[in-house]
Amino acid sequence: MLCDVCNKNPATVHLTEIIDEQMNELHLCEDCARHKSAAMEQQFGLSDLLAGMADFEKPSTKEEEVVTIKCPSCGLTYADFKKIGRLGCGECYNAFRKYLAPLLKRIHGSNQHIGKNPTKVKAITKLSRKKVGLSELKNQLQKAISQEAFEEAARLRDQIKAMEDKKEKES
């Protein structure tokens, strides 16, 4: 397919414009697409999207607080985050917790981590150096559930699943 504008180069950019409920399809080569609209160059990146999403977080309380709230560790403000879509340091997550928790939930559908944990890794690896068998893991899982140690149970469940999957693959 050739470009609708120059009719010379192959069309690689396909645009659908909706103007007054009229749908127009445009097939452009890269050069013409670039000329066609400077706005297209200005990519609508992830940071814009995030900044947009962060905007929804404006609480009913003072708006100013949101903008001026600052990470005590690295000095990044929530306004900075909204502009660049990146946080400044790990401590920002604590500083902006009130606003980040709902934002994370919107991005991931959850704001509760249930995967690996580096402090556990430090503690556990010494024990698990000895190869723990599947049945032993299952015992540990039962024990963890009965003690309501759910984080530990989730970790064990994943470990068992990974082992079983591996077994299945091998067989």
Partner 1 sequence: MQINDLISHTSEWLKGIGPNSDVVISSRIRLARNLNKFPFPHWASKAQLNAVLEASSQALEKVPLLKKSTLFVLANLDSIDKQFLVERHLMSIEHTQKTEQKAVLVNDEENIAVMINEEDHLRIQLMQSGFNLFEAWEIISGIDDCLAKLLDYAYLDDFGYLTACPTNTGTGMRGSVMLHLPALVMSRQIERVLAAIAKLSFTTRGLYGEGTQASGNFFQISNQVSLGHSESEIIENINGLIRQIIEQETQAREIMLTKSKAVLEDRINRSLGILKSARIITSQETIELLSMVRLGSDLGMIKDIDRRTINELFIITQPAHLQKLEQVKLSSDQRDLKRAELIRKKLNLL
Minimum distance from residue 20 beta carbon to partner 1 (Å):
26
Nearer to partner 1 (CB atom), residue 28 or residue 155: 155
Cα→Cα distances 66→46, 73, 167, Å: 21, 17, 51
Cα→Cα distances 42→32, 38, 55, 62, 149, Å: 15, 7, 20, 32, 50
Minimum distance from residue 165 beta carbon to partner 1 (Å):
6
What is the rounded distance in angstroms from the CA atom of residue 27 to the CA atom of residue 5? 8
Nearer to partner 1 (CB atom), residue 63 or residue 164: 164
β-bridge partners, 27? 14
Binding positions for partner 1, rule: CB under 8 A: 12, 46, 50, 73-74, 76, 84-90, 93-94, 100, 103-104, 107-119, 121-122, 125, 154-155, 158, 161-162, 165-166, 169
Minimum distance from residue 28 beta carbon to partner 1 (Å):
14
Q: Are 78 and 99 spatial neighbours (Cβ–Cβ below 8 Å)?
A: yes
Nearer to partner 1 (CB atom), residue 40 or residue 74: 74
